[in-house]
Amino acid sequence: MRRVRLGDEAAAALLAGLTAEYDTRYGENLEMSRATAEEFEPPSGLFIVLVEGPTTMAGGGFRRHDATTCEVKRMWTDPRFRRRGLAVRVLGALEDAAWEANYTRLILETGPRQPEAVALYSARGYDRIGFYGHYPEARAFSLDLSRRPGLAGDRAGGS
């Protein structure tokens, strides 16, 4: 797992695959133009990839939504590497990094034609919320990072 800039070659491979998947599932759309590379720069943002040799297998990032909330964007796993738990690893790393960046809430949206994403977020304890972005049909989720076992006490100085 590597932290990268959005312009990094490993991130570019992920974004190209994600763009192709969005086009296949939803037709031509503007989603990939709705976030800038700067939004994923630390300290308020982050982008990570899972690589094996020269191949980007999975990745995703987060960007600041408001002072206490970040939004997960660009989560994707290459179809050749699905069903191996990579999305869980990426999402867990993003949750941990968001916590470390002092966010207390994480939000995200996924499309109605991505039931596997809905299942992932539900299984990880995300709560359904109303859509907040550009797509009324989106499935939106929220995770209260302060409810994470072992982490809430750590931030407060506990065990």
Positive/negative CA dihedral, 81, 83, 84, 88: positive
Q: Count of domains in the chain? A: 1
**Tens-place pLDDT, residues 45-98:** 999 999 999 999 999 999 999 999 999 999 989 999 999 999 999 999 999 999
Q: What is the pTM of this model?
A: 0.85
Note the pLDDT tens digit of each residue in 116-150: 999 999 999 999 999 888 778 889 999 999 876 55
pLDDT level of residue 111 (50, 70, 90 thresholds): confident
Band of pLDDT at residue 153, cut at 50, 70 and 90:
very low
Query: For residue 159, what pLDDT is reported?
Result: 35
Structural domain that includes position 16? 2-155
The CATH number of the domain holding residue 103 is: 3.40.630.30
- pLDDT the model gives residue 95: 96
pLDDT of residue 28: 76
